[in-house]
Structure 1
Amino acid sequence: ALALSIPFAYGNVMRLMGKKGFFLKNSEVIERLAKIDTIVFDKTGTITQNDDYQMSYFGDSLNQEEQTQLKSLTRHSTHPLSMAIYKNFSELEQIVVEEFRELPSRGLIGQFNEIKLKIGSEEFINGTIENKSDTSSTVFISFNEKTKGYFKINTKYRSGLEELIDELANDYDLHLISGDNSSEKENLIPLFKDEKKLHFNQSPQDKLEYIKTLQKEGRNVLMIGDGLNDAGALNASNASISIADDVYHFSPACDAILEASKFKRLSSFLKLSGSAIKVVKSSFILSFLYNVIGMYFAVSGMLSPIIAAILMPLSSVSVVAYVTLTSSMAAKRIKNW
């Protein structure tokens, strides 16, 4: 009976979470989520929506050939800003990109015959950052090392973000670390309260080191990201979640995938992980008492061999039923489940 408690309890919790759009790699992730005391969020594509934005272009006009090249290059990237540019030119045809490269937190490079196209941050394209006070995400473009212009992209936060942060702040230490500029910093300070826990212009290596620093302080860290830029940090954290607008589009370094539409339910999933541990512990106590009582009656000779043979498998059945029912009830008791 004891051996059945964990697989059936965790298996049922994984089933309940999966039905709500939260998919775990394995049952061990439940235990790790239950131990978390610190949560680190990525920004773009994690707390911001990929399908709701406003985009404007500034610079020299782009001819149709250049627009086609832009679409073709951004098609190969899953970064939210690249996807926004790709959708902007969705009506154009797509052509073959040669020597494609994606440099995390910097940009994209592709070759079209004799034309080298680069897309990315201002520092990546121009070597410097001139406008640090801009309140939008900017993506610069250059053809054959000559800057052509840039896109300004204003993204919106995911629905329920403010309520989610307020709820998580009661139980966890919250941080935000992003490879993008600090354009959203003033908007995020009221949410995260502490400006020192907001970090921008971070490379993938910076994110990884930040996670390791928190762990050296004795923290159990949950990293929540969405893509290639976060892969190192996701892999190094005690537990990791990838936010996916498309569940077939996620970082393989993560322990769990959360459908973007269910983002505001994150707190509920973490609470259920904690409840699952309590269910397992209580099932151990139940099984122990069952066996102690059974042994007492068996030793005292009050049970016939036939009755004992019947009660033995019943103990396993009762534990399985107990963990299944109690874990399901625990989920129903969670707010907004």
Structure 2
Amino acid sequence: MVSTCIKLCTLFPIDVQVGQGKSESKRWRPARAATMQDVHLPMRSFELKNRTQVDEIKKLRLITAIKTPYLPDGRFDLEAYDSLVNIQIVNGVEGVIVGGTTGEGQLMSWDEHIMLIGHTVNCFGDAIKVIGNTGSNSTREAIHATEQGFAVGMHAALHINPYYGKTSHEGLMLHFRSVLSMGPTIIYNVPGRTGQDIPPSVIKKLAESPNFAGVKECVGNDRVNEYTDNGMVVWSGNDDQCHDARWNYGARGVISVTSNLVPGLMHNLIFDGKDEALNKMLLPLMDWLFCEPNPIALNTALAQLGVIRPIFRLPYAHLPTEKRMQFCNIVRNIGRKNFIGNSDVQVLDDEDFILLGRY
């Protein structure tokens, strides 16, 4: 114990005055032991968690906001989840957002959230980039979750601006800078959910950080164009606009909900050049997916395709029968072979769905 104290005091000396048996500090210096690297340690965590270069994230074109399926008791159905992620990989998807809006991160405890990020990295991290949604309206929680996310190996973080309470532009800047230092980061702007736009003036300043990977932008293609004209990487956050965003406005690609269902067709849309016919064919599906707040329709669709159990964590609930029938018609029009799963699409009864208030 004595030797340890001597070593720390040697490394981090504090000026003192000694008099009448008391010592007083001339100036206080914060302890740095927790952040300094010890060359004698076999592993250096700072290097490990930042092993993914930000340029690797900037190159991604098709990223799926992956769905989180559930068991009847409300726990994650990891078998179904693994199947969903593997289907994305097989169809050429380059990244997944874990625990985003689509994945219902807002309904998870942080323990669940970080566990799912770590599980995804452990099982699929060599084949696909894992981007953990570790954003929060609380800066303290965002910092803590992001530290944990990078500690379990995620390749990048997704961060939304503080919602409900909102903040000033200066507050936005300080919030994002608190997490940008930790690793590659995508900023997510979706005013329809947060109630506050992240203005270009803020984004342009954040882009000066070496860890700034780009923006998931939901305001529209004029905003996408403004950023791409300034050399920034942008992913469309609107599936129904992503074709034009990619081919007419310079977006890198899309962070997609639709690719949960038709990853192969979304790959074609983003990788194979302009295809107005394919885009037109997919628009009815995209519009249907957002007939109610996401992920209500997606959850209903995946259940009707037989690839997940028809289980919802409240406050989400399945679509009404008319909309469920509409989905079946959309599947037939696009072609069942283009959708994930092997079962015939079916219209489930209300009694087939399980709605969980405690989970």
TM-score range, shorter chain: under 0.3
TM-score under structure 1 normalisation? Answer: 0.25
TM-score, length-normalised on structure 2?
A: 0.24
Structure possessing the higher radius of gyration over alpha carbons: 1
Structure having the higher strand fraction is: 1
